[in-house]
Amino acid sequence: MGSDISLWFDALLNFCALFGIALVLSAVYLVIYVLLTAHNEIKLIRRNNISASVALSLSLVGFSMPLASSFVHSSTILECVAWGLVALVVQIVVYWIVRLIIPNLSQRIAANELAAALFLGAASVAAGLVNASAMAISTS
């Protein structure tokens, strides 16, 4: 019985550590992403801009999938952090690629045009899914 409690407590500590890392990396991601985009998503969301909310939310999902995959497939916390940074870079690259496809992307999102936001969001989720899958293969 004592070893069961000890195992549970160890698992709880690991959960807290990984959850804390996820919160910090997600906050870092959001700050960097908002600073690097040509529009201020937070400011737009505060003004009830649905397009900004959709684009930012889906990019966060795209970032979170590989982060979650790193928790499953990595052997150390440092490795999880490194993969989280890779996921951050991938999402920034996706934003810039979508800007090449839709040159006025930020203006369209700021104007609350949902089509542009959904395209960016879908690209972010797709990249996150591929990133998470590729990570699983590379850490096996």
Asked if residues 109 and 55 have their Cβ atoms less than 8 Å apart, the reply is yes
Tens digit of pLDDT for each residue in 92-131? 999 999 999 999 999 999 999 999 999 999 999 999 999 9
Highest-pLDDT range among 3-12, 91-100, 129-138: 91-100
Task: Copy the structure tokens of residue 138.
Answer: 């590379």
pLDDT recorded at residue 128: 97
Q: Which residues contact 56 (CB under 8 A, 6 or more apart)?
A: 30, 33, 34, 41, 42, 45
Tens digit of pLDDT for each residue in 57-101? 999 999 999 999 999 998 899 999 999 999 999 999 999 999 999
Domain locations along the chain: 2-138
DSSP character for 131? H
Q: The pTM is what?
A: 0.91
Q: Which amino acid is at 128?
A: G
